[in-house]
Amino acid sequence: MSIIIPPDGAAMLKDAIAKVAQPSRRAFLQRSLTLGGLSLLTGCSLDSQESVERALMSVSRFNDRAQGLLFDPNRLAPTYPDSMITRPFPFNAYYEEDEVRHVDGEAWRLELSGLIADRKPWTLRQLQAMPQQSQITRHICVEGWSAIGKWGGVPFSVFLRRIGADLSAKYVGFKCADDYFTSIDMATALHPQTLMALTYDGQPLPPRYGFPMKLRMPTKLGYKNPKHVQAIFVTNTYSGGYWEDQGYNWFGGS
């Protein structure tokens, strides 16, 4: 195989890394990766900006598969005492706090689609009537902060079994009341600490933390935890996510 490296290769690679790589990995890639190395790794000829981005994406997909294989479905994320809860807990979204969505809890219906036997929509009251669990865990955001919070709600594995979801499917996807969306691997969906959170610190989830329901996963980075969940679907088709489609790593383990 001959590797064709254009004269502006270094600049192309730098631009592609800035666009495609997860922030925490950018510095590492910028120091360690050459265009020739990337070409050998992926078997792609890298003669345009798009082909360099595509090659980096294929490394990221490979990284997703590796993280999926390494994920231990029985290993629990650390939990903390009440005294360690971060107060006030930070707010974060792709918009400012004054633009937080206010969802009407009475009118809200959780829509279900895809590989699910019983796709009847759920009300908030029905979710509140399910067995609840609570946890104090650490939320880690790739923007460089972490905080300990207390969430309560329905273990997602119990819900998925209840609705007859195909538990052998690859992905569970989420659509939110804002323009946010994400998707996760089934192993994480079934993890014992993955919650459909309805409360924060013992109170109904306030709007800024994702009323009426958010998916809370202490085994995943902040951006994998969708707030204001409106719809859930089970699928074998990869469907990415809001930040994932802009280059954040899809698996997003923490």
Rule CB under 6 A: which residues touch ligand MTE? 90-94, 141, 176, 178, 180, 208-209, 222-223, 225-228
Closest approach, Cβ 249 to Mo ion, in A, equals 13
227 binding partner (options ligand MTE, Mo ion, none; Cβ < 5 to 8 Å by kind) = ligand MTE
Question: Residue written as tokens 């992905």?
Answer: 171
- Nearest to ligand MTE of 35, 243 (CB atom): 243
- Nearest to ligand MTE of 39, 182 (CB atom): 182
Closest approach, Cβ 57 to ligand MTE, in A, equals 20
Tokens of 239: 């469907």
Closest approach, Cβ 138 to ligand MTE, in A, equals 12
Closest approach, Cβ 76 to ligand MTE, in A, equals 21
Closest residue by Cα to residue 182 from 132, 249, 242, 140: 242
What's at 163, amino acid-wise?
I
Closest approach, Cβ 123 to ligand MTE, in A, equals 20
Closest approach, Cβ 178 to ligand MTE, in A, equals 5
* Residues in touch with Mo ion (CB under 5 A): 141, 222-223
91 binding partner (options Mo ion, ligand MTE, none; Cβ < 5 to 8 Å by kind) = ligand MTE
- Nearest to ligand MTE of 191, 214 (CB atom): 214
234 binding partner (options ligand MTE, Mo ion, none; Cβ < 5 to 8 Å by kind) = none
241 binding partner (options ligand MTE, Mo ion, none; Cβ < 5 to 8 Å by kind) = none
- Nearest to ligand MTE of 9, 226 (CB atom): 226
Give 248's Cβ-side CA count (13 Å radius): 18
173 binding partner (options Mo ion, ligand MTE, none; Cβ < 5 to 8 Å by kind) = none
Question: Angle between the 9-20 and 49-70 helix axes, to the nearest 10 degrees?
Answer: 50
